Amino acid sequence: MKIGDEKMKKISTWMLLLTLGFLFTPLVWADSDTDSLKAEVEALKSRLAQLEAKLAEPQVKTGEGGGHTAAESAPSVSVPSLMSGIGISGYVDSIYSYNFNAPDDISTGTGNNVARVFDRHPNSFNLNAAQLTFKKPVSADSRVGFVTEILAGNDSELITSTGLGTTGDEFDLKQAYAEILVPTSNAIKGLNDIDLKVGKFVTMAGAEVIESKDNWNTSRSILFGYAIPFTHTGIRGTYTFNNGWDLCLGVNNGWDVTDDNNNGKTIETHFGFNNIALPGDSSLTVGLQGYFGPEAAGDDHSYRNLLDVVAIYKTPWKPLTLMYNYDYASQENILADPDSSLATLVNDSNWQGHAAYARIDINDQWSISSRFEYFEDQDHVRVVVPTGTPAGDAYWEITGTLEYRPWKNTITRLEYRHDDANQPVFHDGGVLDLGVGPFSDTQDTISGEVMFIF
C-alpha cells in the first residue's frame, strides 16, 4: 500500500508541474505575440476598408448597345410591374346574313347587300370583328393613361383611315391615344379636372358605335354608315360639370384620315347632359355634337359641316328604353354620282336622316329591339349603289332584333330587316352583264349573330 501511495504522489507531482508549465508559457512570450497580433488586426482593417469602398462604386458593364454603366441605365422593371394598372379586354363577333333577293355575284362585290355597313356580304358566314383592347385608365392617383385597340375582320375593311394602312385591310389600329387627367382642380378651387386625349379615337357623333356588342341591333343604321365619320386623329378635351353636364372641344385632321389630306383642320364640339332625373323615376340623356372643317383632298376651303343629336330616354317602365338620332350635314364642292357617267360637281350638297329606337329588356337574358330610320341623299354623294342603277334620293328601313344572352360573356342575336328606296338600287336575283342586272327597290335580310366578350 505504501509503494502504491508513493507512486501516486510522484505522478501527481509531475502532472502539477506540467500544468504550471502550460499556464506560464504564454506569459513568457506575451510581449512578442502581442505586437504580432496588433499588426495582423491593422492589416485586416485596411483590407476591409478597401473592400467596402470597391463595393460602393458602380459596376461597369458593356452591353450590346455600347459602354453604358449600370448607374447610367434605367433600373430594370419586372413584367408584372410594367403591366400594373393595364386592363386587357376584347370580343369576337361572327354573323351569317341571308338576302332574300339572292344576289349571286358576291365575289366581285357587285352582289353585296346595298346600303349596308358591316353586314354587306349576303348568304355567307363572316368574321366581322376580333378586337383586342389595352387600357390604362386615368384617375386622381394615376393621371396618365392610354387606350390601344386593334381590330381584325371584315369591319376593319371599312373603317381604316386614310394614311394608316390600306382601305380593304382586315386589320386596323382603331384607336391609339394617350390620356391625361389635367389637374385644373389643383390650380383653381372649385373646378374639376380636364380629360385630355391625344392620338386616334372614335367619333363622338351617332347613336351607334363600331362595336356590335354595344349596340341594340346586329346591322348598323344608314346614318351610322353614311351620315357621320368613324374616327379622327387629333386632340380632344372634355370637362364634366358637377351637375352631370359635359363639354368637349377638339381639333383633328378630319373625317377618317390619319394623315391630313389638306392644310385645314376640323373642329369638333360636344355639349350634353347625362341622366337628368324626370318624373316617374325616368331619366333623359342628350348629346349635341358638331364637326366643322374642310374635308376634300387638296382643298382647304370647301367645308363639310355636321350637326348630330342623340337622345336616350329611360322610361318609367324600367324594361323600356327609347333612343333617337338626327343628323344633318352639308358639303361644298363635292362630286355627285362619282361612280357613274352622270358625275357632276355640286356647289353645296346636303344629307340628313332620322333614326328611332326602342328596346325592351324582358329579363337578364332576353331583349327585343326595333329601329326605324329615314335617310335623304338628294345629290347622291353618300350612299354607294351598284353600277347601272339610278341613284336613290331617299332610303328607309325597319329592323327587329331578338337578343339572348345565355352566359355573362356571350351575346346571340336573330334579326330581320327590310330596306326600301325610291329607286331600284337593290340587287334582285342573278347579276348579269358584268354587274348590270335585275334590281329592286326593296331588300329583305335575316341575320344570326354570336359574340364572345372577354
In tens, the pLDDT along 123-147 reads 999 999 999 999 999 999 999 999 9
What pLDDT sits at residue 357? 99
Tell me what the mean pLDDT of segment 340-363 comes to.
Answer: 86
What pLDDT sits at residue 348?
85
How many other C-beta atoms are found inside a 10 Å radius of the C-beta of residue 392? 22
Please report, as a single letter, which amino acid is at residue 411. I
β-partners of residue 336 are 344
pLDDT digit string, tens, across residues 34-77: 565 566 656 656 665 665 565 555 444 434 444 433 334 344 44
> What is the structure's pLDDT at 265?
97
Q: Which three cell numbers stand for residue 278?
A: 324626370
How many alpha carbons lie under 13 Å from residue 412 in its C-beta half-sphere?
Answer: 7
pLDDT digits (tens, 9 = 90+) for 243-269: 889 999 999 999 999 999 999 999 999
Instruction: Dihedral sign for Cα 374, 379, 384, 389, please.
Output: positive
Distance set, CA 32 to CA 26, 28, 29, 41 (Å): 10, 9, 6, 15
- What confidence score (pLDDT) does residue 278 get? 96
* DSSP 8-state code for residue 265: -
With beta carbons less than 8 A apart as the criterion, state whether 237 and 251 touch.
Answer: no
Mean pLDDT of all residues in 281-295 = 97
Show me where the domains of the chain are located: 88-453
Mean pLDDT of the chain: 84
Mean pLDDT check: name the lowest of 21-35, 48-62, 162-176, 241-255: 21-35
Distance separating alpha carbons of residues 101 and 444, to the nearest angstrom: 7
CA angle 399, 211, 425 (to 5 degrees): 45
Say if residues 255 and 206 touch (Cβ distance below 8 Å).
Answer: no
219 vs 378, higher pLDDT: 219
Question: pTM of the prediction?
Answer: 0.79
| pLDDT range class, residue 282, cuts 50, 70, 90 | very high
The band of 162, judged by pLDDT with boundaries at 50, 70 and 90, is confident
One DSSP character per residue, 126-161 reads EEEEEEEEEEE---SS--EEEEEEEEESHHHHHHPP
The rounded distance, in Å, linking the Cα atoms of 202 and 151 is: 13
Q: Which residue has the higher pLDDT, 402 or 104?
A: 402
Give the Cα separation of 453 and 406 in Å (integer).
Answer: 12
pLDDT above 60: residue 108: no
What is the predicted pLDDT for the residue at 44?
59
Cα–Cα distances (Å) from 388 to 29, 75, 342, 423, 438, in that order, read: 122, 66, 11, 12, 10
User: 233 pairs with which residues across the strands?
Assistant: 200
pLDDT at 288: 99
Please state, in angstroms and as integers, the Cα–Cα distance from residue 322 to each residue in 153, 245, 310, following that order.
31, 20, 11
Whether the predicted pLDDT of 398 surpasses 60: yes
What's the longest Cα–Cα distance across the chain? 151
CATH of 88-453, one of 2.30.40.10, 2.60.40.10, 3.40.1190.10, 2.40.160.10: 2.40.160.10
Grid-cell match 413584367, residue found:
79
CA 303 to chain CA centroid, nearest Å:
29
Are 239 and 192 a contacting pair, CB within 8 Å?
yes
Q: How confident is the model at residue 389 (pLDDT cuts 50, 70, 90)?
A: confident
Percent of all residues in the chain with a pLDDT value above 70, rounded to a whole number: 75
* pLDDT over 60 (residue 23): no
